[in-house]
Amino acid sequence: MLPFGDLNGDGKADLISRDTAGRAWLNPGNGAGGFGNRTALGAEPLWPYTKIS
C-alpha cells in the first residue's frame, strides 16, 4: 500500500494540480519540501466545471 499522498510510489508525498483548462498534473514530491517537474495525467480536462480559489 502506498503512503498517503504518494501517488507515484516513490515514498514521497506528491501533489495533483489543475491548470485553467481543467487538465490534471502530477507534481512529484522531491523529499526536500518541494516538487519536481509536472507530468500530465491524461490529455482531457478532468475538472472542467470546478473552480478552486
Domain locations in the chain as residue ranges: 1-42
Determine the distance from the C-alpha atom of residue 19 to the mean position of all C-alpha atoms in its chain, rounded to a whole number.
11
**For position 22, what pLDDT does the model report?**
79
- Residue with the larger pLDDT of the pair 53 and 4: 4
Q: Which residue has better confidence, 46 or 2?
A: 46
User: Do 16 and 8 touch, CB atoms closer than 8 A?
Assistant: no
Q: Is the pTM of this model over 0.75?
A: no
pLDDT tens-digit series, residues 8-51: 888 888 988 888 887 888 899 988 989 999 999 877 776 655 56
